[in-house]
Amino acid sequence: MGTGRTAIVILGASGDLAKRKLVPALIHLCHSGKIDQSTVIVGEGRSDFSDAEFRNSFKTPEPLASMLFYHKGITGLKSFLADKGDFPRSIVFFALPPQVYSATARELVQEGFGPDTSIIIEKPFGADYQTAVALNRQLSDCFDEQRIYRNDHYLAKEAVQNILVFRFANSIFYPVWNNNYIESIQINASETLGVGTRSAYFDKAGILRDMVQNHLMQLLCLMTMEAPVSLGAEDIAEKKVELLRALSIEACDRRQYEGYVKEPGVAPGSSTETYVELIFRINNFRWAGVPVYLRCGKALDRNGTEIGVRFKPVPGIVFDKQGPLPPNEIVFMIQPQEGIILSMSSKEPGGELKLIKTNMNFCYHDSFSQEIPEAYQRLLLDAIRGDHTLFVTARETELSWKALENVLDKGSVLPYKRGSVPPSSFGIQWIDFENYCCSCKLR
């Protein structure tokens, strides 16, 4: 079913995000019939392109190519759209540096984009609590909150969306999701690459701002929030806000990989962290006493984003001769593989009673034959439909920054060897995520 006649504008269309993600996602949605072919997609930028040159850069066949247009600059953009027809809705995606968001919003209003216009902005939403509050206020001066979509593409990953289904649609897991049974929750995001071409941006941000405040804090919320009244956007946001209000940081260790200051674009003597290890506490009845461990970094030994739940061990009374029993663990694999693994004890075949650790695997690629949609396809389609469920509210962004307020740019930054994971400064027994993997091969 189509979504009606809509004008979609991508500001900064000559940039990397538009080329790699946004325009290909929109073309796919058009090709699959999820976007009405009366929709127009307009790229805006500072470069000089004709419509034909813009279309050719994406190698789009007809009739989809005729939906693509290009306009240089925001001035005159409204009349340019009017020449293409009457559009009840306009959606403007800010594929732009975050520091120009508020000025661009004002420019759009001055150009004539009004109540029928929605805007989509990318993270980071500010650089700290104060700047996030200011940015939200400046954007709300130009557009109603229901017209502002704060995009965190992690929320559109299938494995992330499945967290709430896993927690609240399965009676075997819901009753044990609390401090009576769970010893710790562990969030891990590892990347083998360094800062690369993003060094100029990253050196002003660091891993806390670039990954923790947005992507990983959202994962934390989904893993620990209370059950919402419904799956509506407002109900889910309400529970995430409640969780963020109860969140505090017990400890933080910031580190930097050796050779970082020699990367092109990095300031001499920079103290920007490229790795962080955190201990969170959630101050409510469900999670009192349960630490949430989080580590995230660049130039590490592997690529992978996972969430682990370690359960409290059962008493070893029956199997006391076997030694300490390994705790049960559940691992949610977010990327590059997508799946859920349950680790448990079982008997090894043979005459003697010997316990071994075995895994039960759920892998997306083994369980579903259809293509898993790319995150931006889902996010763009939801924005066109007016669905805020997978987007972040102003209050969430502010409280997420508030939780990090006491650790941003604070404390010393110790070095670590590139290609290695720094040993835990807090003696955390991290789940061995590397030894958890889906049985399938990535396609």
pLDDT at 185 over 70: yes
**The token pair that represents 387 in the structure block:** 């669905």
Q: Nearest CA to 293 among 436, 424, 162?
A: 424
Query: Which is higher by pLDDT, 351 or 234?
Result: 234
How far is residue 333's CA from residue 306's CA, in Å, rounded to a whole number? 5
Do residues 208 and 126 touch, judged by C-beta distance below 8 A?
no
pLDDT (tens digit per residue) in 225-273: 999 999 999 999 999 999 999 999 999 999 999 999 999 999 999 999 9
Confidence of residue 36 (pLDDT cuts 50, 70, 90): confident
Question: To the nearest 10°, the Cα dihedral for 214, 220, 221, 225?
Answer: 180
pLDDT, mean of residues 165-192: 95
pLDDT at 66 over 90: no
**The token pair that represents 238 in the structure block:** 């309400």
- Per DSSP, the three-state class of 7 is strand
**For residue 108, what pLDDT is reported?**
97
How far is residue 69's CA from residue 76's CA, in Å, rounded to a whole number? 14
pLDDT at 424 over 70: yes
How far is residue 217's CA from residue 240's CA, in Å, rounded to a whole number? 10
pLDDT, mean of residues 70-96: 93
**For residue 70, what pLDDT is reported?**
94
| Alpha carbon of residue 92 to chain centroid | 20
The percent of residues above 90 in pLDDT, for the chain, comes to: 66
Confidence of residue 366 (pLDDT cuts 50, 70, 90): low
Domain annotation for the chain: domains and CATH numbers = 6-122 (3.40.50.720), 155-370+393-435 (3.30.360.10)
Tell me the pLDDT of the chain averaged across its residues. 90
Burial 74-97 (b: 16+ CB within 10 A, else e): beebbebbeeeeebebbbbbbbbe
The amino acid that residue 165 corresponds to is V
Do residues 273 and 260 touch, judged by C-beta distance below 8 A?
no
Confidence of residue 183 (pLDDT cuts 50, 70, 90): very high
pLDDT, mean of residues 129-150: 96
**The token pair that represents 365 in the structure block:** 């690629």
Compute the residue count for the chain: 443
253 backbone φψ class: left, alpha, beta (φ>0; ψ -120 to 50)? beta
**For residue 219, what pLDDT is reported?**
97
pLDDT (tens digit per residue) in 91-104: 999 999 889 999 99
pTM for this entry:
0.91
Do residues 308 and 340 touch, judged by C-beta distance below 8 A?
no
pLDDT (tens digit per residue) in 282-339: 999 999 999 999 999 999 999 999 999 999 988 766 676 666 788 899 999 999 888 8
Query: Quick check: bond before 324 cis, omega within 30?
Result: no
**The token pair that represents 69 in the structure block:** 């247009």
**The token pair that represents 245 in the structure block:** 């209000």
Confidence of residue 356 (pLDDT cuts 50, 70, 90): confident
Do residues 208 and 276 touch, judged by C-beta distance below 8 A?
yes
How far is residue 305's CA from residue 190's CA, in Å, rounded to a whole number? 6
Catalytic residue among 28, 71, 153, 215: 215
Query: Which is higher by pLDDT, 126 or 352?
Result: 126
pLDDT, mean of residues 83-92: 90
215 is catalytic: yes
Q: Is the dihedral of CA 312, 316, 318, 320 positive or negative?
A: positive
What number of CA atoms fall less than 13 Å from residue 401's CA on the CB side? 21
- Specify the pairing of strand 247-257 against strand 413-416: parallel
Query: Which is higher by pLDDT, 367 or 89?
Result: 89
Do residues 108 and 142 touch, judged by C-beta distance below 8 A?
yes
pLDDT at 350 over 80: no
Residue 286's contacts (CB-CB under 8 Å, 6 or more residues apart) are: 177, 178, 179, 224, 226
Confidence of residue 2 (pLDDT cuts 50, 70, 90): very low
How big is the CA angle at 332 (ends 331 and 337), to the nearest 5 degrees? 110
Q: Which of 107-116, 144-153, 353-362 has the lowest mean pLDDT?
A: 353-362
How far is residue 411's CA from residue 115's CA, in Å, rounded to a whole number? 45
